[in-house]
């Protein structure tokens, strides 16, 4: 009896977690519980891989707590961060709906809890509730636009311009507060460069009076000047 109650409580907790995801927000409680029963909880430590590039796709991943990064690795181990994912967000859609292996690697940046909804369960849900496809297509389209912008940045903009755009997009009230894992090495991987080049770009922007760099934050001093810097091409 106790075991059954615990299992039921786990399903309710999973359903509550999934209900905040746009894909599932409009589902009735019974359907949401069905999806919750097909979800597997996984806990990860910092640096632990959720899945590897090229592995068979296990399913759609929903982050309950923590932060993760989705990356591509070169043969020599250099990484390019494709996106950073937090609580309430999903990842792994490409592998689920394209029907192929995982196109990238996902790694925990801090202790994280992830629910993995089996691919077959997601496909059955789409058959029963085709309206969900609209949310899925919108989400995938946003990811594609993000990747297009990333290609544009890497191909056409200087590291300083990429850094300026990164700071402007993510600063809150003129300050980018960095989490413990958001080291300069992680920032370099997001911007498609190496640590030495990023450090030089930070130093140059600070020397020009555009930003102030502190241990856990970067403050924008001259927003207009930084916006001008963000528009510079190679």
- Determine the Cα–Cα distance for residues 14 and 35; give it in Å rounded to an integer: 9
- Determine the Cα–Cα distance for residues 112 and 127; give it in Å rounded to an integer: 31
- The token duo for 8 is 């039921």
- Determine the Cα–Cα distance for residues 204 and 47; give it in Å rounded to an integer: 31
In this structure, the answer to whether residues 14 and 130 fall within a common structural domain is yes
Contact between residue 161 and residue 167 where contact means Cβ atoms under 8 Å apart:
no
Mean pLDDT of the chain: 88
Among 129, 154, 179, residue at a domain's last position = 154
**pTM for the whole structure:** 0.83
In this structure, the answer to whether residues 134 and 223 fall within a common structural domain is no
Q: Which residues of 117-141 are buried (b: 16+ CB within 10 A; e: fewer)?
A: bbbebbeebbeeeeebeeebeebee
- Determine the Cα–Cα distance for residues 231 and 228; give it in Å rounded to an integer: 5
Q: pLDDT (tens digit, 9 = 90+) per residue, 105-158?
A: 999 999 999 999 988 888 888 888 887 888 888 888 998 999 999 999 999 999
Contact between residue 92 and residue 12 where contact means Cβ atoms under 8 Å apart:
no
Q: Indicate which CATH number applies to the domain containing 123.
A: 2.60.120.10
In this structure, the answer to whether residues 186 and 199 fall within a common structural domain is yes
Q: pLDDT (tens digit, 9 = 90+) per residue, 181-193?
A: 989 999 999 999 9
- Determine the Cα–Cα distance for residues 175 and 9; give it in Å rounded to an integer: 41
How many domains does the chain divide into? Answer: 2
Q: pLDDT (tens digit, 9 = 90+) per residue, 37-93?
A: 889 999 999 999 999 999 999 899 999 999 999 999 988 888 999 999 999 899 999
Among 112, 134, 154, residue at a domain's last position = 154
In this structure, the answer to whether residues 82 and 193 fall within a common structural domain is no
Q: Whole domain around residue 10: which residue ranges?
A: 2-154
Among 154, 175, 201, residue at a domain's last position = 154
In this structure, the answer to whether residues 109 and 220 fall within a common structural domain is no
In this structure, the answer to whether residues 67 and 98 fall within a common structural domain is yes
């Amino acid at each position: 009896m106790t075991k059954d109650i615990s299992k039921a409580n786990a399903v309710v907790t999973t359903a509550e977690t999934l209900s905040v995801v746009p894909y599932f927000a409009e589902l009735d409680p019974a359907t949401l519980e069905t999806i919750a029963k097909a979800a597997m909880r996984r806990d990860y430590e910092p640096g632990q891989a959720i899945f590897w590039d090229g592995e068979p796709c296990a399913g759609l991943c929903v982050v309950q707590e923590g932060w993760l990064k989705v990356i591509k690795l070169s043969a020599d181990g250099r990484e390019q961060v494709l996106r950073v994912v937090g609580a309430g967000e999903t990842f792994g859609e490409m592998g689920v709906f394209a029907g192929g292996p995982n196109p990238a690697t996902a790694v925990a940046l801090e202790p994280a809890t992830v629910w993995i909804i089996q691919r077959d369960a997601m496909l059955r849900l789409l058959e029963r509730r085709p309206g969900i496809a609209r949310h899925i297509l919108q989400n995938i389209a946003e990811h594609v636009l993000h990747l297009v912008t990333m290609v544009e940045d890497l191909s056409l903009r200087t590291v300083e311009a990429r850094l300026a755009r990164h700071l402007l997009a993510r600063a809150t009230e003129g300050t980018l507060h960095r989490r413990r894992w958001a080291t300069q090495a992680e920032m370099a991987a997001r911007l498609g460069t190496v640590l030495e080049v990023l450090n030089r770009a930070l130093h140059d922007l600070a020397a020009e009076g555009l930003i102030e760099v502190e241990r856990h934050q970067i403050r924008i001093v001259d927003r207009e000047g930084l916006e001008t810097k963000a528009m510079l091409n190679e």
